[in-house]
């Protein structure tokens, strides 16, 4: 009996693309869909639809370390992330439910209480430095993924940002334009995201003798209290 994996290997596409085509779901081009369906028919593939125990709802939890959800206001980065998730969910025929909450209120019990029988998966987006307890995540009996917080060390799935590489390339680009006095403005050093960006900045500056001394131009700003400090320990 022909398998979806064999079709994928023959056509040079991923098994997930074959699954999308056979289940008539969005996510691939019309040309790819037609190619897969034609090959499946020619190869005698028999598609058996599985009854899923999950539904068609994705639940996104956005948490803040603060006592209110005020920090979510006017957050351009967060807006872009949510827009991207919403667009992809729509293209895949998922209904996206979004819950804004505080970190202290994000417990396994409250996550489960918010879900319903049609929830297919959970996306967790902590907006500050805290990481949801791995034990809480593992207690969820439903597929989930965390965003912007590495959890691979706990055997959990996550999608993270290449913070160090991004800042490294940004500095290199500015240097290529003739700038040699480049500063880094960021948040709390103890947060992984910010510390990685600082390290990327320092590594990039170190490549150019013309920028000697720029490694001291590291400034920390608390965006919620409008306070500012100079971090000379970056050197």
What does DSSP assign to residue 172? H
By the 8 A CB rule, do 166 and 159 touch? no
By the 8 A CB rule, do 182 and 172 touch? no
The string of pLDDT tens digits covering residues 133-186 is 667 767 777 788 888 776 666 677 788 888 889 999 999 999 999 998 888 887
Query: What are the structure tokens assigned to 16, written together?
Result: 């997930």
Domains contained in the chain, CATH given: 4-42 (no CATH), 57-159 (3.40.50.2300), 163-234 (3.40.50.2300)
Of 40 and 26, the one with more pLDDT: 40
Rounded to an integer, what distance in angstroms lies between the CA atom of residue 179 and that of residue 39?
55
Of 63 and 124, the one with more pLDDT: 124
Rounded to an integer, what distance in angstroms lies between the CA atom of residue 45 and that of residue 39?
8
CA–centroid distance for 48 within its chain: 32
pTM of the predicted model as reported, rounded to 2 decimal places: 0.56
Buried b or exposed e, range 179-212, using 16+ CB within 10 angstroms: eeebebebbeeeeebbbbbbebbbebbeeeeebe
DSSP string for residues in 66-87: SSSSGGGTT-HHHHHHHHHHHH
The string of pLDDT tens digits covering residues 190-214 is 667 788 888 899 899 888 888 877 7
Rounded to an integer, what distance in angstroms lies between the CA atom of residue 106 and that of residue 172?
40
């Amino acid at each position: 009996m022909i398998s979806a994996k064999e079709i994928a290997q023959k056509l040079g596409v991923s098994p997930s693309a074959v699954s999308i085509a056979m289940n008539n779901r969005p996510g691939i081009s019309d040309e790819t869909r037609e190619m897969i369906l034609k090959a499946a028919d020619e190869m005698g593939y028999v598609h058996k639809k599985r009854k899923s125990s999950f539904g068609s709802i994705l639940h996104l939890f956005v948490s803040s370390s603060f006592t209110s959800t005020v920090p979510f206001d006017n957050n351009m980065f967060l807006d872009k992330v949510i827009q991207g998730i919403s667009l992809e969910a729509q293209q895949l025929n998922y209904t996206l439910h979004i819950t804004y909450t505080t970190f202290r209120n994000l417990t396994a019990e409250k996550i489960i209480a918010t879900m319903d029988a049609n929830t297919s998966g959970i996306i967790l987006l902590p907006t500050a430095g805290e990481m949801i307890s791995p034990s809480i995540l593992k207690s969820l009996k439903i597929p989930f993924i965390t965003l912007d917080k590495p959890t691979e060390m706990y055997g959990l799935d996550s999608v993270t940002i290449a913070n160090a590489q991004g800042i490294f390339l940004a500095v290199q680009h500015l240097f290529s334009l003739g700038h040699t006095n480049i500063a880094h403005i960021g948040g709390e050093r103890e947060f992984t995201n910010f510390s990685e960006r600082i390290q990327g900045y320092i590594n990039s500056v170190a490549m150019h003798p013309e920028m000697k001394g720029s490694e001291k131009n590291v400034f920390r700003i608390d965006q919620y209290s409008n306070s500012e400090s100079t971090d000379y320990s970056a050197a």
